[in-house]
Amino acid sequence: MKRWLAAAGGVFGTAVLALGGLALYSASTARRIERALPPSGEFVDVDGARLHYVERGSGPPIVMIHGLAGQGGHFTHSVVDLLADEFRVIVVDRPGAGHSTRRRREPANVRAQARVIADFIAALGLDRPFVVGHSLGGAIALALALDHPHAVRGLALIAPFTRAGKEVPAPFRGLVIRSPLVREIVARTIAVPLSIRRGRRAVAAAFAPDVPPRDFAIAARGLLSLRPNAFRTASEDLMASGRDMRDLLARYSTLTIPVAVLFGTGDTVLDHHHNGVRLREEIPHVDVTLIEGGHMLPVSAAQVTADWIRSRARAG
């Protein structure tokens, strides 16, 4: 019995040391990434969150909301500069993503994030901006228009998440963690080394069938996802993402503002028919445009995406 207890104690001690080493490695990696990719914009305090945003250009305002496990770099990589000659383009890191913060135990559901974006729009004194949402950012943009109709002039939704599906998209299945305690332990220990090991495959899966640009990690600030806080936020967002969708879906028909959708027919993350074409059943005036390509159109098809946003923003 004593030998068994001693052996068990040794295993436990080894496990603790291993987890401690992984935690130190993860924290050190996060610090190196943040030194390499410091904030590139401004900050504003909104509803307990400190939101980081990048602003370029002048003219009618456009607010851009990024997707799950992303940050504003997905837009600033290319699309923003293609629009800044005509519009005041504002890209916000969602609460907890990029360089923005989110209070612990802050709701991560779609409508809660839409409320923060509405407060962000008010804090910047924007008068009914045109709102662009990508992926999960599309769901948040829809919730923003439904819950805060006087804050939005029109919507341009790129590969948007508009209704719950039966399965979690393959690139995000590792984020499915129901327990907050387990999520915190995973985020601080194994998430970073596993993400580094699987990073290329995960990015390739998000872009498929398109090929990620070689500068995605730096120019699109993709490395910011390789931090414990980023993993925690993405997991929280994923687990809360379906909570409001049934209610929102039932209200889509009440939208009166212009709504446009751009989807790649080869998207392997969100089905273009389920999340895009079927919107015509709820929003008769919706403008759905289908093109060849995958899920990451703001990066992989930047010029086409920017031209599409420009035409809809002018009309909206």
| Closest residue by Cα to residue 100 from 139, 56, 47 | 47
Average pLDDT, the chain: 93
pLDDT at 9 over 90: no
Residue 101 located in a structural domain? yes
pLDDT range class, residue 183, cuts 50, 70, 90: very high
Number of domains making up the chain: 1
User: Does a structural domain hold residue 211?
Assistant: yes
The predicted pLDDT at position 104 comes to: 76
Are 108 and 240 in contact, with CB atoms under 8 Å apart?
yes
Burial class (CB in 10 A: 0-12, 13-18, 19+), 131: buried
pLDDT digits (tens, 9 = 90+) for 136-175: 999 999 999 999 999 999 999 999 999 998 889 989 999 9
**In a domain? residue 47:** yes
Asked if omega into 209 is within 30° of 0 (cis), the reply is yes
- pTM of the predicted model, to two decimals? 0.94
Residue 99 inside a domain? The answer is yes
Whether residue 287 contacts residue 312, with contact meaning beta carbons closer than 8 Å, is answered with: yes
Within a domain: 106: yes
pLDDT in tens, 98-114: 999 998 778 999 999 99
* pLDDT at position 209: 97
Mean pLDDT of 289-309: 98
93: which DSSP letter? P
What CATH number is associated with residue 121?
3.40.50.1820
Domain of residue 222: give its range.
42-161+169-315
Tell me if 133 is assigned to some domain: yes
**pLDDT at position 14, please?**
59
Is residue 97 situated within a structural domain? yes
Q: Percentage of the chain with pLDDT > 90?
A: 88
pLDDT at 288 over 70: yes
Query: Does residue 178 lie within any of the structural domains?
Result: yes
Mean pLDDT value across residues 169-193: 95
Please give the pLDDT value at position 17: 60
